[in-house]
Amino acid sequence: MRLCNKTLLGALIAAAAFTLSAQTPPASSSPTPPQARPAGPSFSADTDPVRSPDAGPSPAEAPLKKQQGGNYVLRTDVDEVVLNATVLNGNQLVQGLSENDFEVYEDGVKQTILSFQHTDLPVSMGLVIDNSGSMYRKRPAVNKSALDLVEASNPQDQAFVVNFSDEAFIDADFTSNIEKLRQGLSHIDSRGGTALYDAVAASADKLAADGKRPKQVLVLITDGEDNASTLNLEQTIRRVQSLSGPVIYSIGLLFGDEMDRGEVRRARRALELLSAETGGMAFFPKSLSQVDEIAAEVAHDIRTQYTLGYRSTKPMSVPGFRRVEVTAKAQGMGKLEVRTRTGYFPVVRVPRQTAEGGDP
């Protein structure tokens, strides 16, 4: 299913790249035969379905409210910053903390926590899978692990599939149907370069525009470094942060003889930064046999996060990156590690005006 227009998306990502460049500081088994890809527009040039300033909050920005029946909806307090946080004691996830066990700081100033959840909230998820030539024999195992991750997740989650090489395609749009996701993953072209950054930015934009669940996640699986994107690494991170975007979990299949040490080092650094800056994790298995275990760990991590909301003491009209730090304590435990996004760019929303230019 294609929801993207190739010509429009091409123009959008070119504009995004120009804007960001001005703003950003310096085991092997035979795979199944590839499924023919239907003719249709590419997704690689996506992005910038950035929400209109007066369109209200994106799902990642809006705090949560529980309705009768146990479903979660989003309130419309556009100034509330929402953080998804994982708490660790060594390598162990810490559960059962209360709101009073957390402190939130923005640019070093303590903030007042206004909302708190420790619930298995539904997720809008993008499965962003490398489809370049070097992935051909790895894809069957990768596809199985990606589906296992979805099956281990909240049944109310919705996921989409993006396969990317030097272009990226939405091969399954948002769905909870495993068979539709399986069909999307089956488009194994395995050719061309690796436009990883463009695919990540495009997928983050899609989540901001179309994601309907309270939390947003990207699961990125690749076996190499970017060599074909319009955006660079710093621009991509800024783009995700400007959207108050998704937590990114990266799985780097950087084993084998395909890359030299320099390429491996650069690829690893890129995946680590994408994940660390957004509150996720980067994994580097030593073989394909470990990917399924990692997928299960990612699913568990997503389902056990804390969600905290606060309203910044600094007006949203003040521009610039806001650095965020979250700390947590628990009786009988030493220093706890809290993993969350490192910060955000405020979104300034202009009040809606009438056609005559009067008051809203």
CATH 3.40.50.410 fits 6-22+122-303, yes or no: yes
pLDDT-derived band at 192, boundaries 50, 70, 90:
confident
Q: Is the per-residue pLDDT at 180 higher than 90?
A: yes
Indicate the angle between helix axes 233-242 and 261-278, nearest 10 degrees.
10
CA distances from 348 to 20, 131, 221, 345 (A): 17, 37, 33, 9
CA distances from 235 to 11, 25, 74 (A): 17, 9, 29
pLDDT-derived band at 334, boundaries 50, 70, 90:
confident
What distance in Å separates the CA atoms of residue 102 and residue 223, rounded to the nearest whole number? 37
Domain boundaries in the chain?
Answer: 6-22+122-303, 77-120+305-344
Q: Which two tokens stand for residue 214?
A: 């309270």
Average pLDDT for the chain: 81
Pick from 93, 6, 58: which is nearest to 246 by CA? 58
CA 141 from centre of chain: 22
- The reported pLDDT for the residue numbered 56 is 35
- The reported pLDDT for the residue numbered 279 is 97
What distance in Å separates the CA atoms of residue 264 and residue 165, rounded to the nearest whole number? 18
Which class for 333: exposed (0-12), middle (13-18), buried (19 or more C-beta within 10 A)? Answer: middle
Q: Is the per-residue pLDDT at 80 higher than 80?
A: yes
pLDDT, one tens digit per residue, over 194-212 is 999 999 999 999 999 999 9
Residues 249-272 as b/e (b if ≥16 CB within 10 A, e otherwise) read bbbbbbeeeebeeeebeebbebbe
Contact indicator for 41, 2 with CB cutoff of 8 Å:
yes
Sheet strands (E) in 113-154:
113-117, 123-130
Q: Is the per-residue pLDDT at 245 higher than 50?
A: yes
Question: Residues 53-73: what's their mean pLDDT?
Answer: 39
pLDDT, one tens digit per residue, over 8-62 is 334 334 444 434 443 444 333 344 444 545 433 455 433 333 232 223 333 333 3
**CATH topology for 77-120+305-344?**
Immunoglobulin-like (2.60.40)
Contact indicator for 171, 163 with CB cutoff of 8 Å:
yes
- Helix and strand numbers (H, E) in the chain are 7, 17
What distance in Å separates the CA atoms of residue 163 and residue 325, rounded to the nearest whole number? 34
- DSSP-assigned letter for residue 220: E
Percent of the chain with pLDDT over 90: 66
Pick from 125, 111, 131, 140: which is nearest to 27 by CA? 140
What distance in Å separates the CA atoms of residue 203 and residue 236, rounded to the nearest whole number? 11
What distance in Å separates the CA atoms of residue 55 and residue 53, rounded to the nearest whole number? 6
More confident residue, 330 or 73: 330
- The reported pLDDT for the residue numbered 305 is 96
- The reported pLDDT for the residue numbered 11 is 38
Highest mean predicted confidence (pLDDT) among 111-115, 134-138, 353-357: 111-115
Contact indicator for 324, 344 with CB cutoff of 8 Å:
yes
Contact indicator for 295, 145 with CB cutoff of 8 Å:
yes
What distance in Å separates the CA atoms of residue 206 and residue 226, rounded to the nearest whole number? 20
What distance in Å separates the CA atoms of residue 129 and residue 287, rounded to the nearest whole number? 17
Model-wide pTM > 0.85 = no
